[in-house]
């Protein structure tokens, strides 16, 4: 929700994913027209969230993949 409040972000979704060592990490998928927005987003989020809630990776997309029902297709994001 905090990512979506950033003025350069059109849409976003954050997913908890397991890495190779079975550690949970947050990955933020962001739809924006701006280039190199990830450093701005990280500093913006550091002011508003505790460290454990900060995404470890940002992935910029043209659009979020949707299911036929119109919901975000989280399986497509993780592949």
The string of DSSP letters for 54-69 reads: S-SEEEEESS--B-TT
Cβ contact 12:41 at 8 Å = no
CA distances 5 to 8, 49, 52, Å, are 9, 13, 19
* Model confidence pLDDT, tens digit, residues 28-79: 999 999 888 889 999 999 999 999 999 999 999 999 999 999 999 998 987 6
Task: Determine the pLDDT at residue 21.
Answer: 73
Task: Determine the pLDDT at residue 51.
Answer: 93
Q: What is the C-alpha separation between 29 and 9, in angstroms, rounded?
A: 10
């Amino acid at each position: 929700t905090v990512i979506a409040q950033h003025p350069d972000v059109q849409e976003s979704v954050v997913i908890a994913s397991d890495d190779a060592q079975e550690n949970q990490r947050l990955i933020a998928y962001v739809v924006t027209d701006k280039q190199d927005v990830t450093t701005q987003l990280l500093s913006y989020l550091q002011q508003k969230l505790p460290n454990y809630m900060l995404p470890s990776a940002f992935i910029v997309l043209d659009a979020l993949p949707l299911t036929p029902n119109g919901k975000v297709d989280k399986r497509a994001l993780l592949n």
